[in-house]
Amino acid sequence: MNPEKTDGELIAEFKGGTAAQKEKAFAELLRRHREPIYWVCRRLLNTHDDADDVTQTVFLKIFRALPNFQEEAQFSTWAYKIATNESLNFLRAKALRHAESLDALEADHATIKGDSKRPDEELERAEERQAIEAAIASLPEKQRAVFVMRYYDELTFEEIANIVGGSVGGLKANYFHAFKKVSAYLKRALKNEP
């Protein structure tokens, strides 16, 4: 049984292999990292369609940039940085076209159908998920990115600093403010307060 190749070995094959080896190496990197990269995008963008589109763009950029990848950071950190930047760029472009509408979020949640025998519980869970997504979407871009990476992906502040730049102290402050804003938003939303 062949042991699984490391990301570094796959990158070396991609850079120096035949066309078939290059294709096989990239396919394996894609297989390993597609789901985590999708979830980075999904948490920042809130909708499956947007996250799926941006994930495809991320892997296209990775494919084009991989020959020049210097391996100063781990492949996963480098890919995560590309995913975060692409997601934030997407949000900026979307904001320029107009503020994000809640219609997409509502449509996304309208398709949720539970197998639960208690529809009221399923509706309550869907409302909570919607409130959490809306709370995160209300954060400024940098706070949103830091919050998602720390809270959901459980990255250290040092890892986050490598991805988005900035000091660890500044990122901790961003996270603290984001956490307070999300908590306050959820208290208002789930109690139906203004």
128 and 83 in a common domain = no
- Give residue 60's pLDDT band: very low, low, confident or very high (50, 70, 90): very high
Rounded-to-integer distance, Cα 189 and Cα 194, Å: 8
Provide the pLDDT for residue 183.
Answer: 85
- Establish if 16 belongs to a structural domain: yes
- Give residue 97's pLDDT band: very low, low, confident or very high (50, 70, 90): low
The residue among 100, 130, 145 that closes a domain is 100
- Establish if 108 belongs to a structural domain: no
Rounded-to-integer distance, Cα 7 and Cα 32, Å: 9
pLDDT at 99 over 90: no
Beta-carbon contacts of residue 131 (< 8 Å; ≥ 6 apart): 185, 186, 189, 190
CATH number of the domain within which 62 lies: 1.10.1740.10
Domain extent at residue 145 = 119-194
pLDDT at 95 over 70: no
- Establish if 154 belongs to a structural domain: yes
Is 36 buried (19+), middle (13-18) or exposed (0-12) by CB count in 10 A? Answer: middle
The residue among 69, 100, 131 that closes a domain is 100
Provide the pLDDT for residue 113.
Answer: 44
Beta-carbon contacts of residue 24 (< 8 Å; ≥ 6 apart): 13
Provide the pLDDT for residue 79.
Answer: 93
Rounded-to-integer distance, Cα 101 and Cα 95, Å: 10
Provide the pLDDT for residue 98.
Answer: 43
Mean pLDDT, to the nearest integer, of 32-57? Answer: 92
| Residue 167, both tokens | 């000091």
pLDDT at 81 over 70: yes
